[in-house]
Amino acid sequence: MNARHCLFLIFILSWEIAGADTIFFRPKSFISNTCNDFALQAQSPFKRRNAINTLCVVGVCAALIPLDASINRELLSFQPTGNLYKESINQISRLGGSYGYIALGTAATVSFLCKNQKAFKHTMLATRAAITTAIWIRILKTLSGRERPYYQAGNSPVYGRWNGPAGIFRQLSERGKYDAFPSGHTGTAFALAGAFAMAGADTPWIPPLCYGTAALVGFSRLSKNEHWLSDVVLGAVIGLACARQVFLNETKYHKRVFNKKNGLQSLRLHIGMYPLM
């Protein structure tokens, strides 16, 4: 997440500090909710019920890493080389970067001005999913320091070496060449896709559209030679996991509130709005 991607988040934080409020949204809860999301996500992989899923993700990534180089070579050798294809891939890739954040900011602004409580709430949940995804991915990028596919350090015959946290210091002079693992664009795309797919699960075409678009973003990162396959897979898992946690936590919160008020009908409607994966 670079400076352009932070514009919408700065808007949200500025709004928070200003203490803005509306009849349907209290932004003073936004930061506390996001921090709570982050804490719950940190605990999630270590819970017994998630142990199998965590081991599966680790196993898949561990199996893919030795195959990354060969998969990368095969993909690049078969893909088209025309300018139209390259430009299309560039535009698709930006859906997980600047275009995605612009769309999120636009959706938040329009729903806020139109006082559409449902749409605005969904957008805020998607924002929380995108923020937490970006934080986790940045932490892992810093810890791994993996070289990107297009870069070969020095005269080394090895591509995609792992430099660990030392890679962050190398980025000061060679920006962006040591932060391949995991893919940030893919993580953002799947965080937004997961959030809006769950919010619009009652409409049959929304989930396939959301997940299909996110998958295209992941493919574009491979096609642009920016990431290895294991980078893309882990980025997608992190994005989906963060989106699921945000919506699951929100559903549990409202379930407690509605139970206290004996609002059983409202609870049924709310669960329908926020389906679980």
Report domain extents, the chain: 28-150+159-273
**Least confident among 67-81, 141-155, 167-181:** 167-181
Average pLDDT score over residue span 204-226: 95
**Which residues lie below 8 Å from residue 56, measured CB to CB, with a gap of 6+?**
none
* pLDDT attached to residue 140: 95
Of residues 241 and 178, more confidently modeled: 241
Query: 3-state DSSP call for residue 47?
Result: coil
Q: How far apart are the first and last CA of the chain?
A: 26
Nearest to 36 by CA among 251, 250, 274, 271: 250
* pLDDT attached to residue 150: 85
Which tens digit of pLDDT belongs to each residue from 179-199?
Answer: 899 999 999 999 999 999 998
Which tens digit of pLDDT belongs to each residue from 222-234?
Answer: 999 999 999 999 9
* pLDDT attached to residue 8: 52
Whether 230 contacts 68, CB under 8 Å: yes
* pLDDT attached to residue 18: 40
Residue 20 has pLDDT above 80, yes or no: no
**pTM score, whole prediction:** 0.82
* pLDDT attached to residue 173: 66
Mean pLDDT of the chain, nearest integer: 81
Class of residue 18 by CB neighbours under 10 A (exposed 0-12, middle 13-18, buried 19+): exposed
**Least confident among 22-26, 139-143, 176-180, 211-215:** 22-26
Rounded Cα distance, 83 and 183, in Å: 24
The dihedral region occupied by 19, where left means phi > 0, alpha psi between -120 and 50, and beta the remainder, is left
Whether 243 contacts 201, CB under 8 Å: no
Rounded Cα distance, 179 and 163, in Å: 10
Residue 157 has pLDDT above 70, yes or no: no
Helix axes 184-199, 206-223, angle to 10 degrees: 180
Q: Write the class of the CATH domain 28-150+159-273.
A: mainly alpha
**Which residues lie below 8 Å from residue 141, measured CB to CB, with a gap of 6+?**
179, 180, 181, 182, 184
